[in-house]
Amino acid sequence: MKLLKQVSSYAMVGGLGALLVLGLTGCEEKQQHKETNAFSEAAKKQGAFVVIEETAPGQYKIAEEYPSSTTRVILRELNGKERILSKEELDKLIAAEAKKIEANQSPLVNPEIHSGMSLGEVILASAAGAIIGSWLGNKLFNNPTYQQRRHQTFKNPSAYQRSVKSFQKAQTPKKSSNVKSGFFKKSAPSTKRSFFGFGG
């Protein structure tokens, strides 16, 4: 009888442990979902400035990402050169990735794919992707794999945390604002800045 009680006690502890692990996993997923919503909603309303760095031939990471009055994507190549990706380039990259997502051949939606992230995939994982690829929103933002991979596309954890905090702050309602979002939309004269945030 005592043995049965001991076994049942161990089973209870094991069950509680499993519930605790499931609870922690659920909390982590909810937190990732909350962070993803914060960046996507803020980006749609305000725009985003994203710096993507080539870390190896054909592989990329997000170096910096924060809210902006316009949406721009800067590509920092392996040779150190930086350039602004044009709207045409971005549209072409997004369209190519959309086909891969539809076929479930993108690491953004398929957890079985572990290859390095291409330029188009990293763009879609960035806040800029929430704007340019907004028509893919339902297939991406509610996908657990996308939420996890977005975190992994950043160059380091501190860059990810800076992005999360900046977009959460941007999502906080302001009393009055005359700034309107738009792709490659010019800023108002009083707030004109260069691409890297310095006054111009």
193/158: higher pLDDT: 158
pLDDT (tens digit, 9 = 90+) per residue, 141-187? Answer: 788 999 889 889 999 999 999 988 888 887 766 655 555 545 554 44
Average pLDDT value for residue range 24-46? 51
Looking at the chain, the whole-number percentage of residues with pLDDT higher than 70 is 62
What angle (nearest 5°) sits at the alpha carbon of residue 159, between those of residues 188 and 54? Answer: 90
d(CA 185, CA 22): 45
Q: Is the pLDDT of residue 119 over 80?
A: yes
The predicted structure's pLDDT at residue 148: 87
9 or 114: which leads in pLDDT: 114
**Residue corresponding to tokens 């902006």:** 68
pTM here is 0.66
pLDDT (0 to 100) of residue 83: 97
Q: What local confidence, expressed as pLDDT, does residue 168 receive?
A: 82
Which two three-digit tokens encode residue 27? 């909390």
The CB density around residue 39, as the number of other CB atoms within 10 Å, is: 26
Is the pLDDT at 28 greater than 90? The verdict is no
Q: Give the pLDDT of residue 161.
A: 92
CA-to-CA dists, residue 198 to 51, 183, 194, angstroms: 15, 20, 5
Backbone φ and ψ for 68, nearest 5 degrees, come out as -155, 160
Specify the range with the lowest mean pLDDT, choosing from 2-16, 90-104, 115-129. Answer: 2-16
pLDDT at 46 over 60: yes
Confidence of residue 111 (pLDDT cuts 50, 70, 90): very high
> Which pLDDT score, from 0 to 100, does residue 34 have?
52
